[in-house]
Copies of this chain bind each other. A is one copy, B any other.
Amino acid sequence: MEVRTRAPGKIILSGEHAVVHGSTAVAAAIDLYTHVFFRLLPPSESDTGSIELELQDMSLIFTWPITRLKEAFQETGSLLSSSPRSCSSENLKVLVGLVEEQNIPEAKIWLISGVSAGLYLYTSIHGFKPAKVVVSSDLPLGSGLGSSASFCVALSAAFLALSGAISVESQQHGWLTLNDSELQLVNKWAFEGEKIIHGKPSGIDNTVSTFGNMIMFKSGKMTQLKSGTPLRMLITNTKVGRNTKALVAGVSERACRHPDAMASVFAAVDVISKEFSTIIESPALDDVSVTTKEELIEELMEMNQGLLQCMGVSHSSIETVLRTTLKYKLASKLTGAGGGGCVLTLLPTLLSSTVIDKVIAELESCGFQCLKAVVGGNGLQICFS
């Protein structure tokens, strides 16, 4: 029995940082995925087997003999659970111990939490069955594109699909989507994985990755949006590492020093996010109305970027991207935490691929990584063939 899943990454189209202070934000799925291949291995007579996790992009393979797993969980007992539940700190300690036994390169110790989350999801859904899991991703890791959430979603879905908890038509060919209650289940499990990786995730990343499309969220409440037209974005990864916590704290400190000014700034962002979702949901019937929509979106992106600079979360690498794309009259804004990370540039429908190639070449010559993405598309998908 084997299955493939893929779960998309996400971008914040509007409202990052301000959302912490009560403003509306809009996030969207992108057609860059984390891919999971999962096979349950038949029990062998000579051997109880093992669980193998391969991280293809990093050429890393981790193997836990079933005997070792059983031994590790001897005291706390099996994690098997028919419904999503949080990992206790006791179990987390055992999981981290199991991961640390593996040969994780010094430079990749940040992998420990992700691998622990994967092992948690597996042992919670399948217990101690031998299996093979292969993961690869189109997403740069730790750049604010939701790589960890898509990892948790793709894993949860794959594990659930072969557990009987999800009644997928395994005879069908090609990529399948799940029904809403199944997606809810995947999303809940993925959120438990995210908690192991991030401590207190907002739940937005896994929700977008699971359900796809776009999501408007405010004060913890999420609303699904249906995009009237697909948006194409260039995502430029500045590769500048950033400290999200410090950036969020910096905005809060500025809000303390200048409460009235910042309240107005957050209010402006709130309106921009709402306008954004209205434009997104309005149907575009022809090229003219698509162009009009895109021009409004560009204007809102420029405004949002200005407000993010006002919050103090821009960075010289981001400014470099902005200046470069501005030369081609393209609108850009940072996405996510800022201080480096990724920058979005709208690629209008009528923009020639020659221009796109030139922009990308110029950005890559600055040492940045460019990814083209369609925004607001599929969420989680499953494939049996």
Contact = CB atoms under 8 A, between A and B. Distances in A.
A40 interface: no
A264 interface: yes
B257 A296 contact: yes
A46 B258 CA distance: 71
A307 B258 CA distance: 14
Given A268-B264, A306-B307, A323 B312 contact: no
A299 interface: yes
Interface string A243-287: 000000000001001101110110110011001000000000000
Interface string A303-328: 11111111110101001101100110
A319 B322 contact: yes
A312 B302 contact: yes
B299 A254 contact: yes
A257 to B, nearest CB: 7
B268 A299 contact: no
A312 B326 CA distance: 12
B258 A310 contact: no
Contacts of A265: 264-265, 268, 303, 307
Contact of A306 (B300, B310, B316): B310
B302 A306 contact: no
A264 B306 CA distance: 13
A291 to B, nearest CB: 15
Contact of A323 (B300, B320, B327): B320
Contact of A310 (B260, B303, B316, B319): B303
Given A265-B268, A319-B326, A306 B303 contact: no
A261 B302 CA distance: 13
Give the 10 A-B CB pairs with smallest separation, nearest first.
A306-B310, A306-B309, A264-B268, A261-B271, A264-B267, A260-B271, A264-B264, A303-B310, A261-B268, A306-B306
